Amino acid sequence: MKTLIITTITNGKINQNLLPLLDSAGKICDYCDVLILGHDLAAAANEAASINGINSVLTLESAALEKPLAENIASQLSEIAKGYTHVLASADSFGKNLMPRIAGVLEIGQISEIVKVVSPNIFKKFIYAGNVLVEIESLEDIKLLTVRTSNFNGKREPRAESAKIVAIAYNNLIHPNIKWLSSNIVDKSVDLSSAKIVISGGRSLGSKEDFDTHIRTLANKLNAAVGATRAAVEAGFAPNDCQVGQTGKVVAPQVYLAIGISGAVQHIAGMKDSKTVIAINTDQTAPIFEHADYGIVADLFDIVPELYNQL
Amino acid sequence: MIKIMVCAKRVVDANIKVRVKSDGSNVDIEHSKMSLNPFDENAIEEAVRIKEAGNASEIFAVSIGSEKCTDTLRTALARGCDRAILVRTSANIEPIHIAKTLKQIVLREKPDLILIGKQAIDDDANQVGQMLAAMLDYPQATFISKLELNGNKIIACRELDNGTESLEVTLPAVVTADLHLNEPRFVKLPQLMMAKKKTIEHIELADLGISTKPSTRLIKAMDGEIKKNCIMLEDCTQILKILNEVT
């Protein structure tokens, strides 16, 4: 058995989700290669080569891969995949876009968002917005998996001798019908997916101003990431990438502070693996309290400023 | 004027809480209320808006599954699709089989734009659009929250983990809809009545020569929801104490 992790870089560095990906790959077998794709990979490749648990670091480097569009890499990656029993990527917007395209090229099935490796063939994942957990066996010779990295351990283990770095030549099969135009990346002080504390607000915040004054200010003071329910996002209180839930992000911080959130199942799907959940809501029958370790029935407009002042 | 293909997956209604069978063999959905997949609703709404703007000649909807999917297709027709195709099968089909089936429909119908939901709310797989695009070697504008059609090109805004990016794709292309793409309209009675007059063509999946050999096997299903014993606090000081303890 051989596993391959496919990842990219952020600002020249390896993505933080490589560590939990390695943890998941290590639960499958002892052999793991890491393929990094993008442009200017030297620093990231060296960094990866110093992490324990990697056999070889493969680089797929080209100026054309600065923005690694799935259309330009899936055919080459599907050829590379044939040398492995398992291919893994993080279940983020990169992995979710790419892995099914590789599966489509190979015309085989794929398993999305695994949360546990039971055995090399058997994985656990959620369906129905997290209401149901299933254990499924992959019947394919090559198992294509995306991994919910918040469910795996992100500990970095150093090694004595660096792994070897192998450069793979890009086949230059650039799809003529897609062009990357621009991006609008929100530079957040704290990343929602890997934050230790997440403070989320719901529709009861009432306005963007109140969301900012109550949720954002508190988050800044606690060095926490800001989350929001779908309702709050749709009401324009917070940008789309703050959305926590079935269709947004899945987070598992040390502390999840749910402020004015009722607890729709679609939202619970995105935060139920948090270590400690504290809920603030005026309605004591709100479902969020069934998923919280601690709760307080209070008006957020009273309690949040008080909390802020006492910090 | 472009021709648009949309999909209509029949799923358990978003407001229903799905339960696991007592023997853990699968989920128990036999008597659940079924609906059109919400993400497909967004895709259909967008297609209809393109047609209303005078930029599409036809929208057809495809569903794959049992005869009961005709209800789902009627909903799609009431929402503004012109006609529908039901690919009938009783087999348990996975995203890879759906993509292979849709590919056959695309080859026959030659739509310019395939506009589908980014995921279905039952298996939450988020795979079909990308698989289909790969099989056709089409570009894939996935997780799209904004779309602008300009001749044979689309400028699409993709939702990323930390923001958005803007892509230009040349048709034919696959676009998968995020829930933020639009607000689907309410369907009124006259539209529902009109939908009854529109045609639904029936095709047997077996006749398309597609293998439904499973790629996965369900071992067991478990309740995914863990309820906690919530300790109720009285005041702010207690919240602070817990925050200090756990961080």
- Alpha-carbon distance B42 to nearest alpha carbon in chain A (angstroms): 13
Average pLDDT rounded to a whole number, residues A190-198? 87
Which of A109, A130, A255 shows the shortest C-beta gap to B94? A109
Q: Please give the interface size between A and B, counted as residue pairs whose CB atoms are below 8 Å apart.
A: 261
Nearest to A295 among B133, B232, B243 (CB): B232
Q: Where are the alpha helices (DSSP H) in A54-191?
A: 70-81, 93-106
**Predicted pLDDT at A191:** 83
> Which of B127, B155, B230 has its CB closest to that of A292?
B230
**Peptide bond just before A253 cis, omega within 30 deg:** no
Q: List pLDDT tens digits, range B96-134.
A: 999 999 999 999 999 999 999 999 999 999 999 999 999
pLDDT in tens, B142-186: 999 999 999 999 999 999 988 999 999 999 999 999 999 999 999
The torsion angles phi and psi of B224, rounded to 5 degrees, stand at: -90, -5
**How far is residue B7's CA from residue B117's CA, in Å, rounded to a whole number?**
8
| Global pTM value | 0.93
Indicate the residue of A74, A129, A276 with minimum beta-carbon distance to B134: A74
pLDDT for res B246: 81
- Residue B225: pLDDT band with limits 50, 70, 90: confident
- From chain B, the residues in CB contact with A181 under 8 A are 155, 165-168
pLDDT over 90 for what percent of chain B? 90
pLDDT above 90 for B227: no
Range A46-69 average pLDDT: 96
User: What number is the average pLDDT over the span B67-85?
Assistant: 97
Write out residues 279-308 of A within 8 Å (CB-CB) of B: 279, 289-297, 303, 306-307
Report the pLDDT value the prediction gives residue B209, as an integer from 0 to 100: 92
* pLDDT score for A174: 97
Give the model's pLDDT for residue B226: 78
Structure tokens at A23: 């943890």
Cβ contacts of residue B46 below 8 Å, gap of 6+? Answer: B115, B147, B177, B181, B182
Domain B2-246 bears CATH identifier 3.40.50.620: yes
pLDDT at A32: 97
| CB pair distance less than 8 Å for A110 and B127 | yes
Q: Residues 6 or more apart from A309 whose CB is under 8 A from it?
A: none
> Does residue A310 carry a pLDDT above 80?
yes
Nearest to B3 by CA among B98, B106, B140: B106
Which two structure tokens, joined as six digits, stand for A97? 């876009």
pLDDT digits (tens, 9 = 90+) for A25-46: 999 999 999 999 999 999 999 9
A181 touches chain B (CB under 8 A): yes
Q: Measuring CA to CA, which residue among A116, A58, A50 is closest to residue A84?
A: A58
Position of tokens 């990016």?
B165
Give the start-to-end residue ranges of the domains of chain B.
2-246
**Range from A109-118, A157-166, B43-52 carrying the lowest mean pLDDT:** A157-166
pLDDT at A124 over 90: yes
- pLDDT of residue A82 exceeding 90, the answer is yes
- pLDDT exceeds cutoff 80 at A192: yes
The whole-angstrom distance between B118's CA and the closest CA on chain A is 9
pLDDT tens column, A236-290: 999 999 999 988 888 999 999 999 999 998 999 999 989 999 999 999 999 999 9
Query: Does the distance separating the beta carbons of B170 and A139 come in below 8 Å?
Result: no
Question: What integer pLDDT is reported at residue A189 of this predicted model?
Answer: 67
Task: Assign A158 a pLDDT band (cuts: 50, 70, 90).
Answer: confident
The torsion angles phi and psi of A74, rounded to 5 degrees, stand at -60, -40
Strand partners, A257: A199, A278
Please tell me the least confidently modeled range out of A51-60, A80-89, A184-193, B193-202.
A184-193
Indicate the average pLDDT of chain B. 95
Give the minimum alpha-carbon distance from B26 to chain A in angstroms, rounded to a whole number.
8
Domains of chain A: 3-168 (3.40.50.620), 197-310 (3.40.50.1220)
Q: Give the up-direction half-sphere exposure of residue B72: CA atoms within 13 A in the CB hemisphere.
A: 29
Residue-level pLDDT at A35: 98
